[in-house]
Amino acid sequence: MHLHILGICGTFMGSLALLARELGHTVSGSDAGAYPPMSTQLEEAGIALCEGYSPANLEPRPDLVVIGNALSRGNPEVEAVLDADLPYVSGPQWLAEHVLPGRRVIAVAGTHGKTTTASLVAWLLESAGLAPGFLIGGVPRNFGVSARLGAADAPFVVEADEYDTAFFDKRSKFVHYRPNIAVLGNLEFDHADIFDDIAAIERQFHHLVRTVPGNGMLLVGDGEPALERVLAMGVWSPVVRIGEAPTSAWRLELERDDASRFRVIHQDADANEDAVVDWSLTGLYNARNALAALAAAHACGVSLDRAAAALARFESPRRRQEVRGEVANIQVIDDFAHHPTAIAGTLQGLRAATVRGRLLAVIEPRSNTMRLGTLRDRLASSVSAADIVFWYRPEGLDWPLEPIIAESPIPARLEQDLATLVSALVAEARPYDRIVVMSNGGFGGIHEKLLTALEAAHG
């Protein structure tokens, strides 16, 4: 079968393309823009990419068109699909119908940490010899690809996004997955372009809860009021709480302030066990992600001791605290944080792990929620753990960043030209500084440009 995927360079759709290719289908796709790591993955898999959207991309006529949620009516290729009466489907529906049946599905949901937690679950299952399948909205470096089928009888791990499914299906993606185990790590307001308020997101999360069977499991982060409201709407599956509360069945205790070492305690009617995790990631939020993954792997038969040891070999997914390079003892780090909570958590974790030099934050507020300015009142305080912050104004941001600069608790600069930003960073950086670049987009290739400029200045 020939599948043609619209929006193929998105993290979800690109991963879907890899699964379809692995199933033996002919796969092609269109997108308006491609950047690593997804573009690299697709090229290495030999999947044909069409730059831009055009009716001509539908020749030869595909057997099925899979339409990503970034596409809407008025797009020339979408209109051509409809006019030609081509069969079409959403990505989540295709996954649910062609990959997930017969598999034990682990769905990882939450406002923050989905990619890292899903990568952790997949790695723990892999380390135990279970050969899981997975679809993750990023590239887990322990695997080198964002998706694979895995063994036919193995669990399948899916990053379960609450964003809408397609222009013709406005339900959240995750309602399609029918998981046996659902991880609900956290929940707060985001995606202001499609949700009016937190209550609307909570309703979608409850739709997910409704699909988990009675013999399944809900792993729920403690200390999350929005998740407690979701559960109050009704629950039909065992609820296992994870976090730091003394009453949680799975809890963690930090042994280092940067969360690079912590103790895990698991207590329930059948178990009373603990283990120490010593790993390369930092930040309490990452320790909580790991705790959720340990609980999910345990539910699949992986012992706590074995899973905790495997975490020492875990490599963070690309664009999650990923060190892109180092010049003259100046480190450049890439991170996907694009929400005030995620920005603050990333910086706090890196601050605790930075024993020498300064922490320089570089932020591009380009997500749909950021462009709308919905959470801008929280941005100034989100960077307090850094020493200096450089804000970059992306195209299409229609609210002023100047008040964020004025309210900043640390020295702050505003740039709207990439070359000027790179020059300013090179002039500011000193040996042993760490420059963390935060954006949910390609940011104009700033990481390589910055490393090249640092090499020219200090090499």
Euclidean distance between CA atoms 135 and 159, whole angstroms: 6
Euclidean distance between CA atoms 26 and 48, whole angstroms: 9
Name which residue leads in pLDDT, 248 or 324.
248
User: Angle formed by the axes of helices 91-98 and 11-22, to 10°?
Assistant: 30
Q: Comparing 4-13, 224-233, 372-381, 412-421, which segment has the lowest mean pLDDT?
A: 372-381
**What tokens appear for 58 in the block?**
């539908």
Sign (positive/negative) of CA torsion 95, 295, 145, 454?
positive
Instruction: Please report where in the chains the tokens 């640390």 appear, as a residue.
Output: 410
Boundaries of every domain in the chain: 2-90, 100-311, 322-458
Convert the pLDDT of each residue in 242-274 to its tens digit: 999 999 999 999 998 888 899 999 998 677 899
Q: Comparing 107-121, 172-186, 431-445, which segment has the lowest mean pLDDT?
A: 431-445
Euclidean distance between CA atoms 123 and 116, whole angstroms: 10
What residues form DSSP beta bridges with 280? none
User: Angle formed by the axes of helices 304-311 and 114-127, to 10°?
Assistant: 120
Is residue 345 a known part of a binding site? no
Is residue 207 a known part of a binding site? no
Q: What is the distance of C-alpha 366 from the center of its chain?
A: 15
pLDDT tier for residue 236 given thresholds of 50, 70 and 90:
very high
Closest to 123 measured CA to CA, from 308, 349, 346: 308
Q: Which CATH class is domain 100-311?
A: alpha beta
Is residue 176 a known part of a binding site? no
**What tokens appear for 451 in the block?**
């490393």
Is residue 191 a known part of a binding site? no
Per-residue pLDDT, 215 = 97
Backbone φ and ψ for 237, nearest 5 degrees, come out as: -130, 155
Convert the pLDDT of each residue in 380-437 to its tens digit: 788 888 889 888 888 777 778 788 888 888 888 888 888 888 888 888 888 888 888 8
Within this chain, domains 100-311 and 322-458 share the same CATH topology: no
pLDDT tier for residue 341 given thresholds of 50, 70 and 90:
confident
**What tokens appear for 434 in the block?**
């760490």
pTM: 0.80
Per-residue pLDDT, 373 = 62
Is residue 116 a known part of a binding site? yes
**Looking at domain 322-458, which of 3.90.190.20, 3.40.50.10130, 3.40.50.150, 3.40.50.720 is its CATH number?**
3.90.190.20
Could you tell me whether strands 217-221 and 181-184 are parallel, antiparallel, or unpaired per DSSP bridges? parallel
What residues form DSSP beta bridges with 239? 218
Closest to 265 measured CA to CA, from 239, 237, 298: 298
Give CATH superfamily name and number for 2-90.
NAD(P)-binding Rossmann-like Domain (3.40.50.720)
pLDDT tier for residue 192 given thresholds of 50, 70 and 90:
low
**Count of CB atoms within 10 A of residue 195's CB?**
21
Name which residue leads in pLDDT, 48 or 119.
119
pLDDT tier for residue 370 given thresholds of 50, 70 and 90:
low
